[in-house]
Structure 1
Amino acid sequence: MLRTLLAVLLLLGPLAATAQESDLQTILQEHQADIAKPSRSSVGPALDALKASGLPEVPAFLEDWRDKNVWYDADGLFYIVDQKKIADVTTRDPLPSVELASLTQIKPNGGVRKVISEALVDFQLSDPDITRRTAALDAIARNLDPAQAGPLAASIENEPDAALKLRKERLLNYLTARYGDTEEARIAAIESLSNDLSVDGRAVLSQILSTKTQIAQTIPEGVNLARVLKPGTDLPREQAYAQIAAVADLPPVLSASDLKSALESQVQDGKIAGVSINTLSEASAREAAYDRLAAEGKLAPRATEDSITATLAAYSIFDTYDEPSTAITDAARATQDAVNTRVGASQAADLALDAVSLASIYFLAAIGLAITFGVMGVINMAHGEFIMMGAYTGFVVQQFIPNYTVSLIVALPLAFAVTFAAGVAMERLVIRHLYSRPLETLLATFGISIALQQLAKNIFGTQARPLTSPAWLDGNLAFNEVISISYIRIAIFVLALLFLGLLLFILKKTRLGLEVRAVTQNPRMAASMGINPDKIKMMTFGLGSGIAGIAGVAIGLYAKVTSEMGADYIVQSFMTVVVGGVGNVWGTLAGAGLIGSLQKGIEWLNPSNTLAAQTYMILFIILFIQFRPKGIVALKGRAAGD
């Protein structure tokens, strides 16, 4: 007897183990037809059974089912097939004995895949893999479903990632605001959205405040009325009548061309309704003829001005909220008004931040020109090419130093040295022979500009070259969902402030600055005091060119580096110097601020046409110079007279 019992147990042991391993397969077999040939309307019970089972292999199966990796054989057993490799649906062990030709692939349609993805969210919300949890939150955000509120709330407490936990709480608040169990809970969630300036939060409020237009002779009682549309004010009279006519089956409004075509179809022996067509040149005569034919039943009736007025007086056009609760829509409307106010203020602050950022870029590009043109009076049309040379210097350095932080530290002084040397060479070879001859200087530097562009094309080609910023400059500094600025622009702003302080120090506190100011105001007197004007002019021109090279490195971190990049900044640089005040560092700063703010303001008013924005800006500057020819910060004393 004992031997028999042991034999039975030995025989049943593998079967029991197989049954335990096939728990998932067992559930699938119970819903075999719905899984093998799924439809959106019938797949629900199978998904509910899988979720209720609590089996750890269910999420992986759902992913495979969604991705069309589930197959079944003639007996209805399911398998996983990935890249033609067949595996057990539960253990994922390979099954080399099963032939792919004997299996049939399950191909759920888009609707079924969407339902499966929604079911996967419940599992993914607590998945150890953060990418899966993030994907689950993305799926919830795309389609707020009240059924997801429970699993989402249950996953918040044990969420280890602070950012994801905050996002889960925010999504749960969205779900509560739209689908909460009680009116009090919904109102509390809605009011908390006043601090949420995100697009998703504003969308939730808009969905709560969604309306539909209705037409009735008397506004029904008990509806959640949003507004009553007044014909002639909120919408044109004819449009209002057309909406009412479509509902109440009233005669349509005929346009002049429709009325004329209808009358032409009734012409007989040169007459319409017994009246000669020669007498129907006036619109009123044609309308009268049409109405006579309509009274005789020969044409369909039309809406007249009197009937339109009577109809508009008898009917009301009004919008009602889809949400039946007045308290909820009142809370949502108050919250939306508060959010819109904060968004408007944040957009203004973001625009101001963009203007300051652009002004810092223009200041960096123009400060070198402020020295060469403002102090020396040299119209250097090749200034943009010194910016380009600095940017290419940064690119070359990065080819030899792969560490972007170190390469940036090396590139800044090296760009200054390269462009300083180029500026000194240009001043010694060309500029010093053309002082007090502005037209010849302009033509000569313009020719040098073209030559430098072509040289850059010959060396680096015509394709844009990357100047990669360090990793610590990636991303944005976000103050809220509306206000943000990239770290690169912050770095450029800081660099502009450093240069402002450095130039003021050089010009006000050093011997070189003293000699530059002396030569600028009175070269002969400076020479009589032992100052070499030629040397000072050479150093000044080199200093302005070197600063342009550093500006090129900074600008190249976020803009394209090409042989023509200097042309994008030469016009703005000249405008910055002229508008701010020639020969004044503070004037250059003021000019950069004005032009940056003006350009951003015009682009905000007309965002689709940046060329028009630049045109309007130039026109404004021309008018500005007419009223203040010496700029915002004009020089005083003897230098002003020069």
Structure 2
Amino acid sequence: MRLFSVLFVCLVAVAVVVAVSVAGPALAQSGPAVPGQGQPSPIQNILQENRALIEKSSRRTIGPAIAALRDSGLPAARNVLEKWQAKALYQRKSDGLFFFAEKAGEDGYRLIDIATGADADADAGTANRQDLDQLKPNSGVRALIGAALVPYQLTDPDPAVRSGALDAISRNGEAAHLRALRGAIASETDPGLKARKERLERLLTIAYDPDPSARIAAIESFAGDLGVDVRAALNPLVATTRAVTTGAPPEGENIARRLIPGSDALPEAEAYRLLVAAGLAPPRISAADRRNALAAHIEDGAVAGIPLEDLNSEAARERAYAALAARGLVPPTATTEEVQAALDGHGFYDRYAEPDPAVSAAAGAALDAIAAKLGLNQAVNLSLDALSLASIYFLAAIGLAITFGVMGVINMAHGEFIMMGAYTGYVVQQIVPNYTVSILIALPLAFAVTFAAGVAMERLVIRWLYNRPLETLLATFGISIALQQLARNIFGTQARPLTSPGWLDGALHLNDVVSISYIRIAIFVLALLFLALFLFIMRRIRLGLEVRAVTQNPRMAASMGIDPDRINMLTFGLGSGIAGVAGVAIGLYAKVTSELGQDYIVQSFMTVVVGGVGNIWGTLLGASMIGFLQKGIEWLNPSNTLAAQTYMILFIILFIQIRPRGIVALRGRAAGD
């Protein structure tokens, strides 16, 4: 009987061993069983392994869980990350399993398997809301999930999704993105996106590739590139921190330069502060604090036993303070000798944040090449700004060049004709909502309105004041004030918008440094057109010939049958009409107010006087000179535009003293005047 029992136990043991050996691998592959669910999917296993991190959902701790999903290689990983980011991932309270869920009924939810996207099995297909926890990642966790989705989005069939992924990498690139970018370049079919991927791959190579030669090659490929992203990638490689050491610098330090205390690069006070911050020297109080401490401990005409009359030197005051510190009456401080000894006993140097000297050297060389090209492009950009400003001044002054230069009339109301033209454009836009059509209508209408106003002003006022400059100045100044007040009464004091057409929005970007707005390009073209128109009128048609004749010799012109009175009226009207057109152009980028003209009247007179009174080429040269001069002064002193205006006026005054007739002197009646 006993033998039979022993044999039975042995057979049972053998059967158990065989069963375990057969079922063990299958159990190991399928993972832990969940009651009522069979074997969970691999994606569910990953979530279960990181369940504690996911339930806490903290930005500081969630990284490993997100990385596990991202690096799993499972097809369902992207969908899980997207649903999690969209707050569509749920966890069942009873067993901790994760599902997607859709509302079904009033308080029920249909559970969806995260691996297959199909409905969960019959036992787990639905759940009540109170049985589920919705995962609601905060903004920080959602940002991490978004970064993890980037590798999937780089190969998405939708170009917009791929472009968005590249934007995300540009804003917040990571080392993990480098491998994904390299894998996505070959399959990219869009040339623009492929170029962006290749550029980002080189930028990430600079920052994250462990191979120094690959980083150096990527750095050298950007030599002369003016992109802001390139400078942002290279600058950290040449950034330095100041360090102090008691002996030779540690091995492996990438030293930028050694520093000597007391030099311009490292003043002694700063060097000693470094020693104090590193705990290598005691702090030192200021001379004023030491003096106050000594004064607070005066007893019987002495400090720490040293008579006051003996405290007439720095060394004596230091000894007195040291004596007080030894008694515990004041905090200890270093003496001059101790400070000097501490400085002599330590070494100071700047070290690169980048540990590899070859990489930092390549970055420095690339930045030097970029700096040289950057300076050249900044000069080009400044010249374009100056040219656009000169075109504005020329457009504003060309009408004054006619009324003041040709006729010799000091018209202080010229700025108000500019203002009238701008308001004409505004009124037209209220009637014609199409901005392109309204501008095309406003330009000739502004000319007509201000031409008529100029003719009326000449007939009613100016014709009676010829050869009386002071009275003309006072009269036109009064008209200027009256026109400003009339504009306030009609349009109010609030600035009115004069909107440019959509095709003038934005700017022409040649690179990250050089750009010019389309509006300024349009004004430059308009100025050239008016220059050509003025030259055509003055040289090709009868009115221009008569104006030139009256300008050079009015009596001889009258004897030839030319009516000087009529010519003066038309000339004044022409100058006023051109000012109105200039007002429409200026109003496209400046605020249209009753004071608009006052902003340009001084520059207009300076342009005409500096260029040469009565000469259109002189006006052009004067506008160019003032525009470049103003931009140059503003570049030298960008924080104070008022000072720039003052310096410019002073320069103009000196220039007129040297060349009173301007750059191009006029011959004829005006020259004789």
Q: What TM-score results when the alignment is normalised by the length of structure 2?
A: 0.85
| Contact 1:371-1:544 at 8 Å conserved across structures | yes
Superposed, which structure 2 residues align to 1:1-20 within 5 Å?
Answer: none
Are residues 1:122 and 2:174 paired? no
Is 1:250 aligned to residue 269 of structure 2?
no
Q: Which residue of the other structure, out of 243, 248, 254, is the alignment partner of 1:224?
A: 254
In the alignment, which residue of structure 1 is the partner of 2:184? 155
**Aligned runs of 1:168-207 on 2, under 5 Å?**
168-207=197-236
Q: Give the distance between the partners of 2:44 and 2:308, measured in 1 at CA.
A: 85
Report if the CA contact (8 A) 1:581-1:633 is conserved. yes
Query: 2:446, 2:584 within 8 Å by CA — same for their partners in 1?
Result: yes
2:434 is aligned with what amino acid? N
> What residue is the counterpart of 2:653 in the other structure?
622
Deviates more, 1:346-355 or 1:518-527: 518-527
Is the 8 Å Cα contact of residues 62 and 141 (structure 2) preserved in structure 1? no
Contact 1:24 1:55 in 2 (8 A): no
Other-structure match for 1:315: 346
Distance in 1 between the 2:362 and 2:554 partners? 73
Which of residues 62, 71, 80 in structure 1 aligns to 2:81? 62
Q: What is the alpha-carbon distance in structure 2 between the residues aligned to residue 338 and residue 482 of structure 1?
A: 15
Aligned residue among 478, 483, 496 for 1:465: 496
Matched letter for residue 225 of structure 1: I
Query: In the alignment, residue 466 of structure 1 is paired with which amino acid?
Result: P
Contact 2:256-2:349 at 8 Å conserved across structures: yes
The reply on whether 1:287 has 2:306 as its aligned counterpart is no
Task: Give the gaps of 5 or more residues in structure 2.
Answer: 1-36
Contact 2:70–2:148, Cα closer than 8 Å, also in 1: no
Asked if 2 retains the 8 angstrom alpha-carbon contact of 1:507 and 1:513, the reply is: yes
Match of 1:558 among 589, 600, 620: 589
Alpha-carbon spacing, 1:132–1:270, altered in 2? closer, same or farther (3 Å)? farther
1:415 aligns with one of 446, 454, 457: 446
Identity of aligned residues (%): 61
CA deviation after TM superposition for structure 1 residue 637, in Å: 5.1
Distance 1:19 1:138, change over 3 A: farther
Q: Are residues 579 and 70 of structure 1, via their aligned partners in 2, closer, same or farther at CA, if it must alter by over 3 Å? A: farther
- Segment drifting more, 28-37 vs 417-426: 28-37
Alpha-carbon deviation of 1:622? 2.1
Contact 1:230 1:317 in 2 (8 A): yes
**How far off its partner does 1:437 sit?**
2.1
Q: CA deviation at 1:206?
A: 0.8
SS in 1 for 2:451: helix
Structure 1 residues 572-583: aligned runs within 5 Å: 572-583=603-614
SS at match of 2:274: helix
CA contact (8 A) 1:398 1:404 kept: yes
Larger mean CA deviation between 187-196 and 403-412 belongs to 403-412
Q: Which residue of 1 aligns with 2:55?
A: 36
- 1:368 is displaced (CA, Å) by 0.6
1:457 & 1:67 partners in 2: Cα distance?
55
Between structure 1 and structure 2, the one with the greater Rg is: 2
Q: Aligned pair in 2 of structure 1 residues 183, 213: CA closer, same or farther (>3 Å)?
A: same
Q: Does 1:333 find its partner at 2:339?
A: no
Q: 1:73 to 1:202 in 2, by over 3 A?
A: same
**Number of the residue aligned with 2:535:** 504
Deviation at 1:173, TM superposition (A): 0.9
Structure 2 counterpart of 1:144, one-letter code: G
- 2:165 matched to which residue of 1? 136
Aligned residue pair count: 622
CA contact (8 A) 2:505 2:518 kept: yes
Classify 1:608/1:159 alpha carbon distance in 2 versus 1 (closer, same or farther; 3 Å): farther
Moved more, 543-552 or 242-251: 242-251
Q: Using a 3 Å threshold, how does the CA distance of structure 1 residues 269 and 640 change in structure 2: closer, same or farther?
A: same
**CA shift in 2, pair 1:460/1:78, >3 Å:** farther
Q: How far 1:70 sits from its partner (Å)?
A: 4.3
Shift of 1:213: 1.9
In the other structure, the counterpart of 2:399 is 368
Is contact 1:186–1:328 with CA below 8 Å preserved after alignment?
Answer: yes
Q: Which residue number corresponds to residue 533 of structure 1?
A: 564
Q: Is contact 2:66-2:145 (8 Å) kept?
A: no
The letter of the residue matching 1:120 is L
Q: Which amino acid aligns with 1:210?
A: A
Distance (Å, rounded) in 1 between the aligned partners of 2:573 and 2:652? 29
**For 1:158-194, what per-residue CA distance to the aligned partner results, in whole angstroms no more than 9, with x for missing partners?**
4454443322221111111222242221111101111
- The residue aligned with 2:136 is 107
In structure 2, which of residues 394, 417, 420 is the aligned counterpart of residue 389 of structure 1? 420
* Kept in 2: contact 1:70–1:81 (CA 8 A): no
Structure 2 CA distance for partners of 1:411 and 1:80, relative to 1, 3 Å: farther
Question: Is 335-344 or 374-383 further displaced after alignment?
Answer: 374-383
1:6 is aligned to: none
Quickly say closer, same or farther: Cα 1:61–1:359, change in 2 above 3 A: farther
Aligned equivalent of 2:487? 456
Taking structure 1 as reference, are residues 422 and 337 closer, same or farther at Cα in structure 2, changes over 3 Å only? same
Mapped to 1, the partners of 2:335 and 2:569 lie a distance apart of 85
Say if 1:37 and 1:106, in contact at 8 Å, map to a contact too.
no
Aligned-residue CA RMSD in angstroms?
Answer: 3.1
> How far, CA to CA, are the matches of 1:102 and 1:153 in structure 2?
44
Task: State the partner residue of 1:272.
Answer: 303
511-520 vs 277-286, which deviates more?
277-286
Secondary structure of the residue that 2:433 maps to in structure 1? Answer: coil
- Corresponding residue SS for 1:582: coil
Contact 1:36/1:72 (8 A) holds in 2: no
Rounded to whole Å, the distance in 2 between the matches of 1:107 and 1:634 is 78
